Amino acid sequence: MSKELKKAYLFMHIAVFLFGFTAILGKEISLREVSLVWHRLWITVLSIALVPGAISYMRRMTKKQILRFMFIGILTCAHWLTFYGSIKLSNVSVALSCLATTSLFTSFIEPLFFKRKIDLLEVALGFVVFIGIVIITQATLVYWEGIVVGLIAALLAAIFSTLNKKYMEGHNPFTMTILELGSGFLVISLFLPLYFAYQPEMVFAPTAEDWLWLLVLSIFCTSVAYILSLLALKELSAYTASLSLNLEPVYGILMAMAIFNEYEDLTPGFYVGTLLILTSVFLHPILKKQQKKRRAKLTEVLPS
């Protein structure tokens, strides 16, 4: 494994660990998903805008490139809204387990976007994840609304991760983050009056405790984690990245058990499904390595 690849895996796993706190913080913050994401976005964009060169780099980009990253940002924003919506409709553990299906969606989406053959190994591991989520769904039917919204969040994560991988080469990750999250902030801001017109009881202003968690969520679990994940994508495939992100449920579920005692609301079927999901995460690098060895041997045997 090259030095660059090792660094990419390190960056991705640090990012995943930080992402693991987002669900916990989302539960701690009293705001509903729209208000929460709106505040998270502007704090994140402002913190990254302070990085030297992050804004000035936009002058080197074409209008098409800027609009492309802004569109990806809208998808990212929609992912966050559905993810936090899933938490509010169910709980942290269920939402994170649904998010683990991102690798299944990516196993089909990445070949489509990059115009390559579908990897049967990736599909097989993704199917294991799918079986896991079916078992979880059966075990936690009371949270069916949160499960549906959580699966939509996973699909959106697969799409924007693959698009970032496709178009990020040669671009400043800080500038990409500002464009993507800035566009999400603008879109939510446009619809905010309409949202509160239909949901007048929703609270917009954070409490003093909310502000503390929002700062931690925005700066460490978003700005730092998001940029580290973009840097990792320079070396990793979108599928490998999404499978690595399946470790986020491990951290999140363990923390939810410790902090919120969620194990009291979960059945044995939930843990069986989660175990299947996590098995796919750890099997992927092992099976992928064996697959490469078999292909290398086949290449040596076949005449040139």
Name the most confidently modeled range: 117-121, 173-177, 239-243, 253-257. 173-177
Q: Of 83-92, 112-121, 136-145, which gets the smallest average pLDDT?
A: 136-145
- CA–CA gap between residue 133 and residue 62 (Å, rounded): 41
Integer Cα distance of 261 and 2 in angstroms:
42
SS3 state of residue 262: helix
Query: Which range has the worst mean pLDDT, 8-17, 48-57, 162-171, 232-241?
Result: 232-241
64-92 pLDDT, tens digit each = 999 999 999 999 999 989 988 898 888 77
Q: Is the pLDDT of residue 199 over 90?
A: no
Output the CA angle 85-151-10, nearest 5 degrees.
95
239-293 pLDDT tens trace: 677 666 666 666 777 777 777 775 565 677 777 877 887 777 677 667 777 777 7
Mean residue pLDDT across the chain: 82
Burial profile 141-168: b = 16 or more Cβ within 10 angstroms, e = fewer: eebeebbbbbbbbbbbbbbbbbbbbeeb
Euclidean distance between CA atoms 56 and 59, whole angstroms: 6
CA triplet 239, 246, 157: central angle to 5 degrees? 60
Confidence of residue 178 (pLDDT cuts 50, 70, 90): very high
CB atoms within 10 A of CB 65: 17
Q: How many C-beta atoms surround the C-beta of residue 3 within 10 A? A: 7
CB 114 within 8 A of CB 166: yes
Helix then strand then coil, in percent of the chain rounded to 5, is 85, 0, 15
| Domain-wise residue ranges, the chain | 3-301
Give the residue-averaged pLDDT of 144-152. Answer: 89
Q: Which two tokens stand for residue 281?
A: 């995460």
